[in-house]
Structure 1
Amino acid sequence: MKLKFSHVDVLVKDLEEACKYYARVFSARISKTLDWQRDGLHVRYAIVMFGTERLMLVQPFTGNLKALMDANGEGTIYRHCYSTPDIEAAYDELIDAGVQPEDENGKPLSRDNLQTPSGTRILWLPKRFGHFSIELLEEKELEAFIKEAFAEEG
């Protein structure tokens, strides 16, 4: 499977405060604030870029990520994210390896349901080691999504 590291996801209590911190400390570029809601999960998030490095800061309101932050605290790195040129091929390779891809809530994900609320096709590996998870996103769509997140309004 061809994978390229994209970013880590970090839980924060106050998204604006965390974004301001990284903008000040690293002179980071901060994307517009985005919202994700599906099946009981609700978060706000932003992409932080310094050089070619990226973080996704995630402020959870409801769902499993809120419970995770409540249990483990702010600053929890809970996911590594990778891009792949062909998300369906990645899905098939995981199935062939005996791994059932999941959605963001840990439910089995079918090959024809890889679309997300943001429009990027995505899948998650089951959590095998505590709360840590791995997310795979289709590279072309991910890069277009990130470009749009940083686009100036107006």
Structure 2
Amino acid sequence: MDLKFSHVDVLVENLEVACSYYAKVFSARISKSFTWERDGLHVRYAIVMFGTERVMLVQPIAGNLRDLMDANGEGTIYRHCYSTPDIEVAYDELVAVGVQPEDENGRPLSREALQSPSGVRIIWLPKRFGHFSIELLEERELEQFIQDAFSTRA
């Protein structure tokens, strides 16, 4: 599978406070914030850039990520995210080795339902090791999303 590391997702209690901290302490660039709300999952998030490295800060409002933060606390790194040139090829390769891609709530994801609320096509691998998960995103769409997130900073 053709993958490139993209970022980690980190849970925070207050998105603005966390973003301000990283901007002040590390001179990190902070994107505008976004909301993801679908099927009971509700989060706010922003991208933090340290040079070329990225971290996604995620403030859970409701759903499984809120439950995860309540159980494990702020600062929980719960996901590694990778980009791939063709998400459908990645989907097919996973299925071929017996892995059923999932949606953000852990339900089976069909090949026709890869679109996320952010516009980037995305899949998750089933969680095999506790609460840790792996996310795959289509590279071209992800990079455009990130570029737009910083160019339209509100």
Once residues 20 and 138 of structure 2 are traced to their aligned partners in structure 1, the CA distance between those partners, rounded to angstroms, is 29
Matched, 1:137 2:129: no
How far did 1:151 drift?
Answer: 1.1
Unaligned regions of 5+ residues in structure 2, if any?
none
Measure, in 2, the Cα distance between the counterparts of 1:149 and 1:61: 21
Look up the SS of the partner of 1:146 in the other structure.
helix
Give SS of 1:55's match.
Answer: strand
- TM superposition shift of 1:19: 0.2
* One-letter amino acid matched to 2:70: D
The answer to whether 1:56 aligns with 2:21 is no
- Kindly state the Cα deviation for residue 4 of structure 1 after the two structures are TM-superposed: 0.2
- 2: distance between equivalents of 1:47 and 1:117? 16
Q: CA deviation at 1:153?
A: 5.4
1:11 aligned to 2:11?
A: yes
Q: CA-atom RMSD, angstroms?
A: 0.9
Shift of 1:152: 3.3
Tell me if structure 1 keeps the 8 A contact 2:32–2:153: no
How far the C-alpha of 1:26 sits from its partner, in A, is 1.0
Relative to structure 1, the CA distance from residue 81 to residue 153 in structure 2 (aligned partners, 3 Å threshold; closer, same or farther) is closer
Q: Which amino acid in the other structure matches residue 12 of structure 2? A: V
What does residue 46 of structure 1 align with?
46
Shift, 1:36, TM fit: 0.3
Tell me the TM-score normalized by structure 2.
0.98
Aligned residues: 154
**Identical pairs, percent:** 79
Equivalent position of 2:29 in the other structure = 29
Q: Which amino acid aligns with 2:5?
A: F
Give, as a single letter, the amino acid of the residue that structure 1 aligns with 2:17.
E
The normalised TM-score by structure 1 is 0.98
Q: Distance in 2 between matches of 1:66 and 1:117?
A: 18
